[in-house]
A and B are shown apart, each in its own frame.
Chain A
Amino acid sequence: MSCPLVDFSGQFNAAFELAVIRQGTPPLEFRIKAAGRRFRLRFATAAMRDAMLPALRNLVIPLNHAEPDDFTLNIWESASTGVQPPSPAWPLKNPITKGEITELTDLRFAGHVSHESGAVSFYDADARTAIFWLADARNLRGHERAAPFLTIFQWCFRHSGRQITHAAVIGLPSGAALLAGKGGSGKSTTAALGCEAGLLHLGDDYCLLADDPPRAFTFYRSVKLHPRSLRLGPLESWSREAAWTAEEKDVLLLDGQAPREVGLKIILLPRVAGAGGTAVRPAGAAEALRALAPSTLFQLPGTTPSDFTFFARLVRQLPAFHLDLGTDPENVAVRVRELLEGVKP
């Protein structure tokens, strides 16, 4: 007896292969490595490659790298291939929260649709494969290009001790700061100011963490900054580097090579104070958890109570501080550096 989801998965993959045939050339293949996991990206079209790969270029490893792939992603669009995805043989009627398609999700499979671009991600945990389909690459939103395949990576890292987290990470080779807080709290600006002052930049908006021991892995190289942040003195030159826009923000792609991973030393909870110098105050673990966990849990599909437990373990291991951002942007990185150099792991 066939399983509807297995059949659907087969049809979806067959549609990808047909899209490749229609293109008349082999898929455009790249391999990337993040947090020790190797992903093979197979783009059916150059349009999808050009849209989705730039924010991952820092993770690319040679195609002939000896280590085997952990996951394979088949990526295609209908606009330039003329191939449509299959429709499930059953109605999709359940409400969709966070893009999760419950009718395409069980213990093995997971389905997601983007509210904005309509992109569909479909994951097969047993086969360790995923499909990313879009009607037209031009439909992709700026933030989706800044954090490509976010949902698929979330599924792939599930149960691995790695956690995609809505936060930013900057630091020194000897230890890094995790910047936590809701949108608009100043995470990205603090991270950019730190980067400009010579600190390592391991992630903006979405970063990749482990908790045993606490550490951050290099992940997306994109940075999203509001124009008002780009008017800050140290960041004025960054405004000329914008690769594209994401809603009201500019997206920049960092070129520097950060280490594959850095240990986490502290959690910082930035807040735009707007006056005086940047000040640091101790914060409680519960405050850190409130700043860190809900924004990730409410945004990413497929999150589970175990993700919350991950964040709870993390905040119990790291000292946390409020970072009240003052009006002197130069001072921000100085205070972060002082904290990193003064706190022993």
Chain B
Amino acid sequence: MGNSDLLMSVRVNTPDVIHESFDSETVIVNLRLGVYFSLNEAGLPLWAQIQTGTTGRQLFDLWHKTHGVSEAEAQAVVRAFLQELYEEQLVVIDTEAPLAAPFEPGLVATPRPVLQKFTDLQDLLMLDPIHEVDERGWPHAKPAGDMSNAT
């Protein structure tokens, strides 16, 4: 692990991302992308730490102390989790280096943070071609499929 992983700062991708934690699950919603997630109980302490703004070092330490695993295992688990959160645009990671280290499942002891993704409502967020107006101009939208004046 390089120093960049230790020093990177991690925070929730607000205001696009909203969340609520319960005893055994956190519900996370990405308002911009129209997807939502269920984070299991194991991930709750990490998410709670991320909510307040944190660093990679603090997350690694938290997992290491909470689960009594080796530092290498803690780093592998947390790195994989952060990678997933980052790819789903749930967190913002401020670092000059990408999250580099590959996940090494062989090292990882249970439990693990598990992020379950739900995309079943994504089509509710539609982008509207209202800019394709007819000859009368706004707000008269061109009928769907009419590309006669498309440029």
Contacts and interface: CB of A to CB of B under 8 A. Distances in A.
A53 interface: no
A294 B29 contact: yes
A290 B118 contact: yes
B27 A293 contact: yes
A98 B126 contact: yes
Nearest to B19: A308
B127 A182 contact: no
A135 B138 CA distance: 11
Given A289-B27, A295-B121, A298-B34, A92 B136 contact: no
Contacts of B36: 290, 293-294
A5 interface: no
B140 interface: yes
Contact of B20 (A84, A101, A298, A312): A312
Contacts of B34: 298
A319 interface: no
A176 B119 CA distance: 30
A92 B140 CA distance: 13
A118 B127 contact: no
B138 A297 contact: no
Nearest to A293: B29
A286 B29 CA distance: 12
Given A84-B136, A92-B131, A284-B22, A308 B125 contact: no
A286 B25 CA distance: 6
Residue picked from B18, B36, B120, B126, most chain A C-beta under 10 Å:
B18
B130 interface: yes
A252 to B, nearest CB: 24
B15 interface: yes
Nearest to A96: B128
Interface in B98-151: 118, 120-122, 124-128, 130-131, 136-141
Interface size class of A (residues with CB under 8 A): 35 or more
A133 to B, nearest CB: 8
B24 A305 contact: no
Interface residues of B, number: 31
A294 B27 CA distance: 10
B127 A305 contact: no
Given A289-B20, A298-B121, A305-B15, A87 B137 contact: yes
B7 to A, nearest CB: 29
A152 interface: no
Contacts of A284: 22, 24-25
B25 A298 contact: no
A297 B34 CA distance: 9
Interface in A29-66: none
B26 interface: yes
B31 interface: yes
Interface in A189-234: none
A133 B139 CA distance: 10
B97 to A, nearest CB: 31
Contact of B130 (A85, A96, A297, A299): A96
Given A120-B139, A286-B22, A308-B20, A98 B29 contact: no
Interface in A285-328: 285-286, 289-290, 293-295, 297-299, 303, 305, 308-309, 312
B125 A98 contact: yes
B58 to A, nearest CB: 25
29 contacts: A92-B130, A92-B138, A96-B130, A97-B32, A97-B125, A97-B127, A113-B130, A113-B139, A118-B139, A118-B141, A135-B140, A284-B22, A284-B25, A286-B26, A286-B27, A286-B38, A289-B20, A289-B27, A290-B27, A290-B118, A293-B27, A294-B29, A294-B36, A295-B121, A297-B31, A298-B34, A298-B121, A298-B122, A305-B15
Given A113-B139, A294-B118, 20 more contacts: A84-B136, A92-B131, A95-B127, A96-B128, A96-B130, A97-B125, A98-B126, A113-B128, A118-B140, A133-B139, A284-B24, A284-B25, A286-B38, A290-B27, A290-B118, A294-B121, A295-B121, A298-B34, A308-B29, A309-B20
